[in-house]
Structure 1
Amino acid sequence: MDIGSAKLEWVAQRMEVINTLVKKYEAEQPLKGVKVAVSVHLEAKTGYLALSIAKLGADVTVTGSNPLSTQDEIVAELKKRGLRVNAERTHDVSVYENNLQKTLDFKPNVIVDDGADLTVTAHEKRKEVLENLWGVCEETTSGVKRIKALENFNKLAVPAILVNDAATKHLFDNRYGTGQSVWDSIMRNTNMNIAEKRVVVAGYGWCGKGVAMRAKGLGARVIVTEVDEVKSLEAFMDGFEVMPMKKAAEIGDIFVTVTGNTDVIRAEHFEKMKDGAILTNAGHFDVEVSVSDLKKVATSSREARPNVTEYVVNGKRLYLIGEGRLVNLAAADGHPVEIMDLSFAVQLLSVLKIARDHEKMEAKTYAVPPEIDYEIASTKLKLLGIEIDTLTEKQKKYLNSW
């Protein structure tokens, strides 16, 4: 069996929203001659997004957005199918960064990004690329933060559509996608029972809510750590314990960071943890669990299982999955295909918007237009065979009156 081909065929059958949109727009070839660079965690669903963009006429090049989330069999299959690909699974960050540079050599008109590495590299190191760049579509929370920072410091040179903030992205991808895929990875890499465990979820944004919800469903006792007062209160109202990490570190069995920040779990926490604690990160960058701190305080380390490293700290064994990188992608297959069908539909339609309207757009961040959310949600409901009510003229008039 050709694994890359089989994986792509599997997702092709299940990404029905993307298929419907491609069928709708393919005849007019709206992206003909447009150079699109796709820099997203490179696995089968991303590969299918890239192929779908190409079907609409675009000249596509593909790279990864994380050194360990790239699946080499998908790279090989995309090359077979005629796409330009600069990516490989690697532990060497310099190899990853070199692939970003090669992708920017393509001088894209549109960047489909996840984490903003390609966007930031263009702005900081390859400014000549900005001359041909019409705009960026950013996939994830961490990337949105970076692009907003560029904007706040007047460094953003092109329009950027914040795909992550679309309702049909964050309400489903961040919550249901992260919630399921994180636990899929933890369970397949540890073969441990989740019920009976104390699970510590650091961060109660949409991703944290999903992780906590699924942990509760698996029977875990869930603790949430937060720095935001409103989210802390929300977590408590949702039925979870809330406490600082310094207290949670002493009692947690499994830790999942989903904050988008750095050093969420660090030396002072490792030293308090009990024997056998499992450490994972579900934020985009490998900075939330401080691996450098862990290596400093550990007296020894070894590979305990594939994707699992054991560190001995104060005579206690701590286990880190996926080197502290995105646990659901560095050590598993990422979000469910039906979830990414929605997210990548937002990306696809956002690329179409930039291609169509970039000359009228300013160098600033943009929300995904509501009509894109409605088109995707409407398409998905039809595919599910679900009918909903519509407003009567009297109801419309009432809602618009004072």
Structure 2
Amino acid sequence: MGLKTAYKGYKAYSYLEPGVDYEVFEFAPWNWAGEYLIPLDEAQEERVKRLAKEKIFIALHEHPVLFPKKIEETIEYNKAGREFCAYDALALSYYDCVFDNMMDGTNTISSKSGWKWQDVIHDLGMRLCDIAHQDFLIHCKRVEDIYRAHEEGKIAWVACIEGAAPIENELDRIDILYGLGVRQLGITYSESNALGNGLKEDNDGGLTKFGKEAVKRMNKVGMLIDVSHCGPKTAYDVALYSEKPIIASHVGARALWDSKRLFHDDLIKAIAEKGGVIAVEAAPHTTMTKTRMTHDIDSVMEHFEYIANLVGIDHVSFGIDSLYGDHVGLHHVFAANLSKKETSNNNVEYEEVPYVKGLENPTEASWNILRWLVKHGYSDEDIEKVIGGNAIRVLKQVWS
């Protein structure tokens, strides 16, 4: 189904010897939950194929790596410090650009609490080494790289750090990350840090003075700012203080599902009013709705339509936040790190799903987002905006 003609079969770290240079883990098949496609008629199928070929599709938040078949082995897998990018699965997708957040919240190489500077650099360096040995992913540092990937049947790979805790109180580490090719940095990842408060906190004091200096530095160097895991006041402060547009790379509308993980209307509006983008996510049991009381592509798209109606089609996109493996199982393994208990939908009773139907992995997400938009009669112009055009508008303002 994919259009990635440049993929020639490269496997992650294939320049090394398994069992000698690294510990071997058995990975889950990338499509372990099956391959679900939204049904379309013949005309709709043809339109999907045309749009996938013509339009640039950007995933604003993903973890496009393989996870162990025995998901409980993930802790040891991550301690080994070498995640395996699922090149073959990505080649089947419609994506032209993927924002890869790497280990991030599960980066526990040297500490069970995660987020250590040395571990983040280790993770980034390993991935850059692997990417240097292949010619399918383009390390994306500018908008032109996205256009080139689209034209050449490749994928532009954007290195992201989901939270700024690793910079500690060192502004220059923002420059270092940028110099190493990172192009998006989150303010917090649920826990508070020197910049501001995370969504775990009962009280949110907003952006700190150091946080304001960090925002200013990110604006200067051209680092895209993400506020997805911030407390509401901290995120609101960033939206107001930043001179350039920001994004919420993977969130939803709290008006539809009362979880601390999702955003109130006023925060969504504040981001949009400064020219930013709100990308809708589908990590298990987040973007549910009272309408459906479950989690699947239709509940996720209910959040998408709500946000589009609230702030306009020019300010919404997708950051599905999926991976290749058992995502629900991963949340159970890393419950404390992933802030699951702290964002448990205010004790609302709901049935846990084994996977998010239609959006379980990055490849399936790329297929079904486009199919859903076509099936529901969105125009070519609006589809182009939400799958990539809105993001490119922001990137041109920030990365330049």
Superposition TM-score, scaled by structure 1 size? 0.33
Greater RCO, CA 8 A, separation 6+: 2
Question: Larger helix proportion, structure 1 or 2?
Answer: 1
Question: Larger strand proportion, structure 1 or 2?
Answer: 1
Superposition TM-score, scaled by structure 2 size? 0.33
